[in-house]
Amino acid sequence: RAIIESVINMAHALKLRVVAEGVETNEQLAQLSGLGCDEVQGYLI
């Protein structure tokens, strides 16, 4: 979780949008949304 949060924050600091791939569960979606991920894709979506 700490690594994902750091990557998202770094990308946003560089004015980049973050896309998470491979999202398969509602739990993953909720966690990524809570961390500020901009877009998701995967089996769930």
The answer on pLDDT for 45 being more than 90 is no
Question: 42 Cβ partners below 8 Å, 6+ apart?
Answer: 20, 21, 22, 23, 24, 28
How far apart CA 39 and CA 45 sit, in angstroms, is 10
Domain region containing 13: 2-41
Whole-number pLDDT of residue 20:
97
Number of domains in the chain: 1
Tens digit of pLDDT for each residue in 14-41?
999 999 999 999 999 999 999 999 999 9
